[in-house]
Amino acid sequence: MAANRPFKSALIVVDMQEDFCPPNGSLAVPEGRTIAPIINTLLSKPGFTMRILTKDYHPKDHISFASNHPGPENQPFSSYVTMNNPAPGKESESKLQQLWPVHCVADTAGAEIIPEIDSSNVDLVVRKGMRPEVEMYSVFADAFGNCDPGAHTHSVSLDVAAALRAQGVTDVVVVGLAGDYCVKATAIDAARVGFKSWVVEEGTKCVVPANWEDIKRELKDSGVSVISMGDPLIEG
Ligand code: VGL
Ligand code: ZN
């Protein structure tokens, strides 16, 4: 496949963590755990140059936790607060931040990758969302597009785009949780920073499953291709 251009693919498995999975996850995505076998099938495919797992990995005082914003108006899932760009010189840039239950706190059981995922041939595990004052759904950049690995107060443990480019990767295949948040943001950013970007439909589940058709349209409008298991891209 992709015979008429250079082609090297990477698999990015997004946030397959206890807190995003039933039955006990604090931000459980409906049927989130059921995609583990499909993801293991993908992880075992020989065609990928790199296999990356991401972990949502927040400090206790993360801006996205509703409990960090006291007041009856601040409810998980339904409320928003104002978030400012933490990058130097960008202080005046702000966005609305959706509030969530406390989830994926660093060094807690909820932040662990679920044991159903076979990580034996994973090349990299990347932590994201580590900076308290800013959200980071995409592993490529925070909510304002900043990517600052290694900075004094950093959001992400590795510059994934640089790591992929260093291996000559051209195509990124994204699966995991959740389809309407971190998978969507990661797949769209992969396209934005210059990779051909693909999402495997059976390999993701949404916080709000009814939104998937709209999300697929948003992905396609952003240059991301949504494919199924069995697609020649995966089968080689
Ligand atoms: C996610 C909400 C908050 C995700 C992470 O992994 O999709 N969603 N943090
Ligand atoms: Zn999060």
The answer to whether residues 129 and 58 touch, using CB atoms and an 8 Å cutoff, is yes
Q: What percent of the chain has pLDDT over 70?
A: 95
Ranges of H-type helices in 84-223: 160-166, 182-192, 212-221
Can 214 be counted among the known catalytic residues? no
pLDDT in tens, 125-166: 999 999 999 999 999 999 998 886 655 457 888 899 999 999
Q: What is the pLDDT of residue 152?
A: 45
Residue 227 reports pLDDT greater than 70:
yes
Query: How does pLDDT run across 40-94, given as a tens digit for each residue?
Result: 999 999 999 999 999 999 999 999 999 999 999 999 999 999 999 988 888 889 9
Based on the residue annotation, tell me whether 128 is a catalytic residue of this protein. Answer: yes
Say how many Å lie between the CA of residue 180 and the centre of ligand 1.
9
57 HSE (CA, 13 A, CB side): 18
Measured from the CA of 182, which atom of ligand 1 is nearest?
7
Percent of residues in the chain assigned helix, strand, coil, to nearest 5 = 25, 25, 50
Q: What is the mean pLDDT of the chain?
A: 94
Given 171, 182, 196, 206, the catalytic residue: 182
> Whose alpha carbon is nearest atom 2 of ligand 1?
181
Averaged pLDDT for residues 209-234: 97
- Assembly ipTM: 0.99
178 ligand 1 Cβ < 6 A: yes
Ligand 1 centre and the CA of 28: distance in Å?
A: 10
Name the nearest CA neighbour of 54 among 145, 151, 168, 158.
158
Is this prediction's pTM over 0.90?
yes
